Amino acid sequence: MEPKRLRIGSRESLLAVAQTELVIRQLKEHYPDLSVELVTMKTTGDKILHKTLDKIGGKGLFVKELDQALLDGRIDMAVHSMKDLPMEISPDLPIAAVPKRGDPRDVLVLPGKEDRENREQVIGSSSLRRVLQAKELFPDAKFQSVRGNIHTRLNKLDQGQYSALIMAAAGLKRAGLQDRISRYLSVEEMLPAAGQGTLCIQVRKDFDQSFFSCIHDRQTELVTLAERSFVRTLDGGCSSPIAAYGTVLGKGLCLTGLFYDEAEKIYRKQSVKGSLEDAKELGCCLAKQMKSES
């Protein structure tokens, strides 16, 4: 029996709400009579802004309050950015659907309407994955951590605290801030985080997951599965300098992984191709191969 009303949980940031409203619109296209209550909350990751994520437990801190709300029955589903989820998903809170992926790329954002890059700029990014790769693109730049929601970071940029920011294209577009993008960084220039640009719906295990099949994208699910399998096999959390990006080639999948060698302080990239249906195994095999060669 289809639910007539859903309580949908989201982080309270404007971006998180915009992403949740995107999912709500998709659901209402298929269920026009569906009544929705949006329940927002501030997570631990939103509250602790004076430390980098790797110092406070990783991006899993952006979902734990929503997880508890699901378990307590205060909400029926939660909408997350896939890259915010910990690598191990509780069987009590399965992923019910993965909508079609948005733009996976990273972008460079400059202050105001400035349209040229300053080679001696101070670039803001709290992601070691981004910083490692950006050092090759901008060898003369300095890098500093920047925390806060999307608007807070942009305000810090415009106030002169940074010369540029590296951010996710999908987030800026979903927040209606695509005009702030100064330069798109190709996936060859900067390999994205596993699941970047992808949203997911999480529910309790007793919820009828078939309700969400109308907005589920199987290809996105499998590509994300390969990317997350790569990271998980390397024991990397969401804050680790590890990246993975998959592209669909017919019935095949090309997966590229980035692995950071702590001993040598360098990162390596490597790709592998295989069957799309073997996505999880493909990610695992690439990770083991790269680890054995380090």
**Structural domains present in the chain:** 1-101+198-216 (3.40.190.10), 106-185 (3.40.190.10), 217-294 (3.30.160.40)
**Does the pLDDT value for residue 277 go beyond 50?**
yes
Mean pLDDT of 228-244: 83
Residues 6+ apart with CB under 8 A from 211: 2, 3, 96
Count of beta carbons in the 10 Å neighbourhood of residue 177: 18
Displacement of CA 199 from its chain's centroid (Å): 8
Flag whether pLDDT at 118 surpasses 70.
no
pLDDT at 62: 57
Q: What is the pLDDT of residues 28-74, one digit of tens each?
A: 999 999 999 999 987 654 444 444 444 444 445 558 889 999 999 99
User: What's the mean per-residue pLDDT of the chain?
Assistant: 89
Please name the helix (run of DSSP H) or strand (run of DSSP E) that holds residue 272, with its range, or none.
strand 266-275
Which residues contact residue 160 at a Cβ distance below 8 angstroms, ignoring those fewer than 6 apart?
Answer: 111
Say how far apart CA 231 and CA 245 lie, in whole Å: 11
**pLDDT tens for residues 175-221?**
999 999 999 999 999 999 999 999 999 999 999 999 999 999 999 99
Q: So what's the pLDDT on residue 55?
A: 45
218 φ/ψ angles, rounded to the nearest 5 degrees? -65, -40
Report the candidate in 250, 233, 251 with the shortest Cα–Cα distance to residue 242. Answer: 233
Q: In the structure encoding, which two tokens stand for residue 128, read together?
A: 């070691």
Task: Determine the average pLDDT of the residues in 125-131.
Answer: 92
Question: Is 155 a residue whose pLDDT tops 70?
Answer: yes
pLDDT at 272 exceeding the cut of 90: yes
Position 237 confidence tier, pLDDT thresholds 50, 70, 90 = low
> Under 8 Å CB-to-CB from 86, ≥6 apart: which residues?
58, 59, 60, 63, 237, 238
pLDDT band for position 291 (50/70/90)? Answer: confident
Rounded to an integer, the average pLDDT of 107-136 is 83
* Confidence check: pLDDT of 293 > 50: yes
> Does the annotation count 84 as an active-site position?
yes
Q: Check if the beta carbon of residue 90 is closer than 8 Å to that of residue 113.
A: no
User: Cα–Cα–Cα angle for 239, 145, 242, nearest 5°?
Assistant: 25
Coarse DSSP helix, strand, coil percentages of the chain, rounded to the nearest 5 percent: 35, 25, 40
What residue type is assigned to position 269 of the chain?
K
Average pLDDT score over residue span 104-116: 83
pLDDT at 113: 57
Q: Which of 46, 84, 103, 106 is catalytic?
A: 84
Which residues are 183's β-sheet partners?
108
